[in-house]
Amino acid sequence: MYKFPEGLYADIRIERTEYAAYSVQNNEVRNNSEIPINGAMVRVYDGKMWYTSVTNDLDNIQQELDNLAAIAEPNPDILNDPAVKLYEVHKDKVLRLEGDIDNRRITRKQREDLVQGYIKECIDDSIPEIKQWYANYNQGHIIKEFYSSKGAEIVQDFQQCYIGIWYDFVVDGVPYSGGKSFCFMDFEKLKGHEKEVIEKRDRFLDYAKNAVDVTPGNYVCVLAPPVTGMFTHESFGHKSEADYMLNDKTLRDEWVMGKKVGSDLVSICDNGDMFPHRGYIAYDDEGSAPKETWLIKNGVLTGRLHDANSAAVLGEELTGNSRAQDFGCTPIVRMTNTYMDAGDTSPEDIIAGVKDGIYVYDVIYGTGQATFTMKPSMSYRIRDGKIAEPLRVNVLTGSVFETLFNIDAVGSDLEFCDISTCGKMGQSMPVSDAGPTIRVKSLNVN
What is the tens place of the pLDDT at every residue in 45-70? Answer: 999 999 999 999 999 999 999 999 99
Domain that holds residue 284: 213-445
If we measure between CA atoms, which residue out of 209, 195, 27 comes closest to residue 127? 209
- Verify that 46 and 164 share a domain, yes or no: yes
Q: What single DSSP character describes residue 343?
A: -
CA distance 357 to 147: 55
User: Of 174, 191, 210, which closes a domain?
Assistant: 210
If we measure between CA atoms, which residue out of 241, 284, 276, 295 comes closest to residue 422? 241
In a domain, residue 2? The reply is: no
In a domain, residue 124? The reply is: yes
If we measure between CA atoms, which residue out of 250, 252, 236, 246 comes closest to residue 293? 236
Q: What average pLDDT does the segment 187-214 reach? A: 97
In a domain, residue 290? The reply is: yes
- Verify that 202 and 276 share a domain, yes or no: no
Spatial neighbors of 44 by CB under 8 A, at least 6 apart, are 5, 8, 9, 10, 50, 51, 52, 65, 68, 69, 72
**Tens digit of pLDDT for each residue in 336-364?**
999 999 999 999 999 999 999 999 999 99
pLDDT of residue 278: 97
- Verify that 269 and 397 share a domain, yes or no: yes
Percent of the chain, pLDDT > 90? Answer: 95
CA distance 335 to 321: 6
If we measure between CA atoms, which residue out of 258, 352, 244 comes closest to residue 298? 258
What are the beta bridge partners of residue 438?
Answer: 223, 410
- Verify that 283 and 313 share a domain, yes or no: yes
In a domain, residue 1? The reply is: no
Average pLDDT, the chain: 97
pLDDT of residue 248: 86
Q: Is 217 left (phi over 0), alpha (psi -120 to 50) or beta?
A: left
- Verify that 36 and 134 share a domain, yes or no: yes
- Verify that 170 and 221 share a domain, yes or no: no
pLDDT of residue 47: 98
Q: Is the pLDDT of residue 368 over 80?
A: no
pLDDT of residue 417: 95
Q: What average pLDDT does the segment 272-285 reach? A: 98
Percent of the chain, pLDDT > 70? Answer: 100
- Verify that 227 and 191 share a domain, yes or no: no
Q: Under DSSP, is residue 60 helix (H, G, I), strand (E, B) or coil? A: helix
Task: Give, in degrees to the nearest 5, the angle at Cα 251 between 250 and 252.
Answer: 90
User: Of 172, 195, 210, which closes a domain?
Assistant: 210
Task: Residue 128: give its domain's CATH number.
Answer: 3.30.2290.10
pLDDT of residue 63: 98
In a domain, residue 4? The reply is: no
- Verify that 195 and 226 share a domain, yes or no: no
122-157 CB burial, b ≥16 within 10 A, e <16: bbeeeeeebeebbbbbbbbbbbbbbbbbbebbbbbb
pLDDT of residue 369: 73
CA distance 294 to 339: 10
In a domain, residue 3? The reply is: no
User: Of 175, 193, 210, which closes a domain?
Assistant: 210
Task: Please state, in angstroms and as integers, the Cα–Cα distance from residue 436 to each residue in 231, 255, 347, 410, 417, following that order.
Answer: 11, 24, 8, 7, 11
Bond into 290 cis (ω within 30)? no
- Verify that 231 and 204 share a domain, yes or no: no
CA distance 376 to 227: 8
In a domain, residue 362? The reply is: yes
Task: Please state, in angstroms and as integers, the Cα–Cα distance from residue 227 to each residue in 176, 234, 379, following that order.
Answer: 19, 10, 11
- Verify that 123 and 261 share a domain, yes or no: no
Q: Is 320 left (phi over 0), alpha (psi -120 to 50) or beta?
A: left
- Verify that 217 and 204 share a domain, yes or no: no
**Tens digit of pLDDT for each residue in 82-141?**
999 999 999 999 999 999 999 999 999 999 999 999 999 999 999 999 999 999 999 999
In a domain, residue 40? The reply is: yes
- Give the phi and the psi of residue 152 in degrees, each rounded to 5: -70, 140
Residues 74, 77, 82, 87, CA torsion sign = positive
Q: Under DSSP, is residue 405 helix (H, G, I), strand (E, B) or coil? A: helix
CA distance 309 to 302: 19
Please check whether residue 167 is in contact with residue 128, taking contact to mean a CB–CB distance below 8 angstroms.
no
- Verify that 194 and 312 share a domain, yes or no: no
pLDDT of residue 246: 92
Q: What single DSSP character describes residue 385?
A: T
**Tens digit of pLDDT for each residue in 229-264?**
999 999 899 999 999 999 888 888 888 999 999 999
pLDDT of residue 251: 84
Task: Give, in degrees to the nearest 5, the angle at Cα 170 between 126 and 230.
Answer: 110
Total structural domains within the chain: 2
pLDDT of residue 365: 86
**Cβ atoms < 10 Å from Cβ of 397:** 14
If we measure between CA atoms, which residue out of 2, 3, 36 comes closest to residue 19? 36
Q: What average pLDDT does the segment 295-308 reach? A: 98
